A and B are shown apart, each in its own frame.
Chain A
Amino acid sequence: MRALPGKASRQPPGPEPVSRDAAAADQRRRILEATAELIAEQGYQETTIETIVRRAKVGYATFYKHYPDKEAAFLALLDAAIERTCARVEDAYRREEGPWPDKVGAALGVLFEDVAAHPSAAHAVLVEAVAAGPEAAARHEAALKRLAPLLRPGRELNPRQARLPETLEETLAGGVVWVLSQRLIGGETAKLRAMLPETIEFVLRPYVGEDEAAREAGEVASELSA
């Protein structure tokens, strides 16, 4: 009989027994994955610890060993997802050696890729966190405030730099969040790839002007279709 893919990946790779730490980490991973999936499917309010433990295939005692309540699991999930995605986006920005528009293009490319690859976690961060209490909303806000400043150096490329609205970066970041969350709500993450060039153009335009923004978007579009 063919092993179930989920089960196979949970087996230890070698003959050595799984250490206690590794087993605990695996439990937490399963709990958080189940939490993310259920919240994406039915919303934060409707998700219960009962459905989480059933989906994660762990007992109640295991759940409570790691998290005191549903909110704690949700917040741990947000922290892990935000840290992973933000670190990858910042890394892509830093490693791109081209001019600033290329750096933003690379960063947004990784962000879109990450959302498409982990839609349940992205749904938790971008859609549910906004409405699941002040702690969760603060994490959503902090993630936005962490990435929005990557746009700020674009002001140096703009002849009107001193006069650009102070709210520009957070407004643009909010627009990107909107585009991503609408695709997540509609279950249309497959469309994200196609929307990347337009979104890059939208974000760059206020800084480098329409022509340069369109040129950068065109480059990204041809890389995507290559």
Chain B
Amino acid sequence: MPSEELGPLPAGRHGFSREQVAHHQRERLIAGLASAVAAKGYAAVTLADITREAKVSRRVFYANFESKEQCFLAAFEVVVGHVGELVGEAVAGVEEWPRRAIAATRAVLSFLAAEPDLARLLLVESRGAGPAVGTRFSAAVHELTPLLEQGRGERPPGERPLPASTEETVLGSLVSLLHRKVASGEAAQLEDLLPDCVEFVLSPYLGSDEAARLARAAAKV
């Protein structure tokens, strides 16, 4: 994650192009915002906190972002992108739908448990960071819809189709649950919820008995 990868730029001549330095400054500001938000919460973070963490000037901040909200949005995108990559890696090459859904659920929970500060930025701080972030949050959750929709193919032919809102409600339920656990400081224990989450995700598509069986098996891996 950027917060670990980014040290201060070495002093003196460094041979980076102007674009590279500019890109680097942007990344440092994003990492700076993430540390400041982890330390005191989005609402209390000031521009000075961000530039101090990033070790850049106020002018550099405004060259990259119009506002604190815009900088938060960029940080949010980095975290969403990272989770998306983790999910992508987890399901790559996995053919069977139930195993894909389980792998994705496991990847998300492991990430949140391993990175409690970023989990908080993603799920809790984002809620108070203005309407643009709110819209982006909904869209990011919606991006997981196709992964679940594949589960519709598992239902026996001739069975009545699931309600159109099934994926939205399943994802929303999980997001709400994870949000509440992270908000109450229980991010580190999220992996314990793997069987519950797996059963919840699989049930509409496979029926509750099969979902419960696979959830128990997933917990043993």
Cβ–Cβ contact B163 & A198, under 8 A:
yes
Closest residue to A198 on the B side, CB-wise? B163
Cβ–Cβ contact B208 & A206, under 8 A:
yes
Closest residue to B160 on the A side, CB-wise? A214
Query: Given the complex of chains A and B, what is the CA–CA distance between A137 and B179 in angstroms?
Result: 11
Interface string of B147-176 (1 = CB under 8 A from A): 000000000000010011110111111111
List chain A residues, Cβ under 8 A from B203: 205-206
Interface string of A182-226 (1 = CB under 8 A from B): 100100000000010111011001100110001001000000000
Cβ–Cβ contact A167 & B169, under 8 A:
no
Answer yes or no: A49 CB below 8 A from chain B CBs.
Answer: no
**Contact for A45 among B130, B135, B169, B207, CB less than 8 A:** B130
Chain A interface (Cβ within 8 Å of chain B)?
43-45, 127, 130-133, 137, 141, 144, 160, 163, 165-168, 170-175, 177-179, 182, 185, 195, 197-199, 201-202, 205-206, 209-210, 214, 217
List chain A residues, Cβ under 8 A from B138: 182, 185
Chain B interface (Cβ within 8 Å of chain A)?
43, 124-125, 127-131, 134-135, 138, 160, 163-166, 168-177, 179-180, 183, 193, 195-196, 199-200, 203-204, 207-209, 212
> Total number of A-B contacts with CB less than 8 angstroms?
102
Cβ–Cβ contact B177 & A170, under 8 A:
yes
How many Å from the CB of A148 to the closest CB on chain B?
11
**Contact for B172 among A167, A179, A201, CB less than 8 A:** A179
Query: Given the complex of chains A and B, what is the CA–CA distance between A180 and B184 in angstroms?
Result: 22
List chain A residues, Cβ under 8 A from B207: 210
How many Å from the CB of A185 to the closest CB on chain B?
6
Query: Given the complex of chains A and B, what is the CA–CA distance between A182 and B170 in angstroms?
Result: 14
Cβ–Cβ contact B128 & A178, under 8 A:
no
Cβ–Cβ contact A202 & B183, under 8 A:
no
**Contact for B127 among A131, A167, A182, CB less than 8 A:** A131
Cβ–Cβ contact B163 & A141, under 8 A:
no
**Contact for B174 among A160, A171, A177, CB less than 8 A:** A171
**Contact for A163 among B134, B180, B212, CB less than 8 A:** B212
Cβ–Cβ contact B212 & A131, under 8 A:
no
Closest residue to A141 on the B side, CB-wise? B180
Closest residue to A42 on the B side, CB-wise? B131
With A198-B163, A198-B164, A202-B166 as contacts: A178 and B176 at CB distance below 8 Å = yes
Cβ–Cβ contact B173 & A178, under 8 A:
yes
9 more A-B contacts (CB under 8 A) besides A45-B130, A131-B124, A175-B176? A131-B128, A133-B43, A168-B200, A178-B168, A198-B164, A198-B165, A201-B163, A205-B204, A214-B160
